[in-house]
Amino acid sequence: MANIEFSAQQKQMLVTKLQGYMSSELEVELAQFDAEFLLDFISKEMGSVYYNQGLYDAQTVLSDRMDSLTDAIYQLEIL
């Protein structure tokens, strides 16, 4: 899997959310650089877990849809 990269706008939004969370929940003020550093760490060390879970979820949805299509085709068969 390639490194997770965000657009500048996405990264700024995530940094802002991280700063807000740290401030409100942990009463820790996180500077811009520190928040970006923490975001990069989380992305690098934990991002693959979220990415893989997303793939598994998508695979489940596709499998369910294929089962529905198979059932629909079976109902069209002339006996």
Extract the tokens encoding 25. Answer: 């929940």
Question: Cα–Cα distance between 40 and 44 in angstroms, integer?
Answer: 6
**Model confidence over 15-59: pLDDT tens digits?**
999 999 999 999 999 999 999 999 999 999 999 999 999 999 999
Gap between the Cα atoms of 20 and 77, Å rounded: 58
| pTM (predicted TM-score) | 0.74
Say if residue 1's pLDDT is above 70: no
Residue 15 buriedness (CB in 10 A; 0-12 / 13-18 / 19+): buried
